[in-house]
């Protein structure tokens, strides 16, 4: 079972949005720490109200690029959202990344309706950045 499957199952058990927000914050605490050197302009995600960094690593397997990501944020709930987005995309081929819509997951979890417009824009910016990295990896 993947982290995404765990989150979906756990969200079904949590009726209260306060509990769901606490759960997302807890996810962020489990995020692998991003080295201080990776908190740089190149990794910074534009369009987020909070500070967000995403570090991308590309490996080639059978000529298909596979991308892994590490990320961080200076805001607790956003760190949890970073964790969710990275769990959805990290370790996938560039084509899988381009074919995966994070919006589907966020709607399934009910997050689309419960995130502020600023946070929704930040998530969209993160996803756009990841997809841009996937397109660049395919073009390389």
Which residues are part of the catalytic machinery?
Answer: 48
Tell me if 97 sits within 8 A of 131, measured CB to CB. Answer: yes
Helix, strand, coil shares of the chain as percentages rounded to 5? 60, 15, 25
DSSP state of 64: E
Q: How far apart are the first and last CA of the chain?
A: 33
């Amino acid at each position: 079972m993947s982290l995404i499957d765990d989150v979906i199952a756990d969200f079904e058990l949590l009726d209260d949005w306060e509990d769901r927000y606490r759960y997302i914050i807890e996810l962020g605490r489990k995020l692998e720490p991003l080295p201080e050197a990776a908190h740089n302009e190149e990794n910074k995600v534009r369009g987020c109200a909070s500070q967000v960094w995403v570090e991308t690593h590309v490996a080639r397997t059978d000529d298909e690029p596979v991308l892994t990501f590490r990320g961080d944020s200076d805001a607790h709930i956003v760190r949890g959202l970073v964790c969710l987005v990275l769990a959805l995309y990290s370790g996938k081929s560039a084509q899988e990344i381009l074919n995966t819509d994070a919006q589907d997951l966020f709607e399934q979890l009910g997050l689309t309706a419960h995130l502020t417009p600023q946070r929704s824009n930040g998530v969209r910016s993160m996803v756009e950045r990841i997809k841009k990295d996937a397109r660049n990896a395919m073009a390389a």
